[in-house]
Amino acid sequence: MMSKKPNGVDTGNLSSGLSQQLSTNPPTASAEDSKGDLPESSSSPQETAQILAEHIKTSLAKKEAVNRQKLYLNHLQQQIQRHTMRAEMLYNNGQVSRASKVMDKIDELELELHEVLSRPLNQF
């Protein structure tokens, strides 16, 4: 039984032809399908070593930047503490004008501290 579609294609012959083709030539899994989702390792050991070396270098650079940032933050905090004690001493001794200058310096250090905390690590 042949059925004709409006575009003139004989669908009866298509389905029987496809069935016959599949029975004589069953689909086979390609080499790509048999590997699954694992990526193909086409890089040479030298390329792999270079990629690993770059990763280690980047990782060490980030670690050094974090250490530099921590040291600088610690330095700023110590300066703020030292200046705070000095300003307190000056106020207690009645040297208000000198103490207010030290307080201005503390404000500058605190501003710098906040800027450092918001700065990306690659700027250290």
Q: With a cut of 90, say whether residue 39 has pLDDT above it.
A: no
pTM: 0.55
Q: With a cut of 60, say whether residue 3 has pLDDT above it.
A: no
Q: With a cut of 80, say whether residue 82 has pLDDT above it.
A: yes
Chain mean pLDDT for the chain: 79
Answer yes or no: are the C-beta atoms of 76 and 112 closer than 8 Å. yes
Number of H helices and E strands in the chain, helices first, is 4, 0
Q: With a cut of 50, say whether residue 38 has pLDDT above it.
A: no
Of the listed ranges 5-14, 69-78, 82-91, the least confidently predicted one is 5-14
- Residues 43-64: pLDDT tens digits? 799 999 999 999 999 999 999 9
C-alpha distances (whole Å) from 100 to each of 39, 61, 66, 77, 82 are: 66, 41, 34, 19, 15
Give me the percent of the chain exceeding a pLDDT of 70. Answer: 63
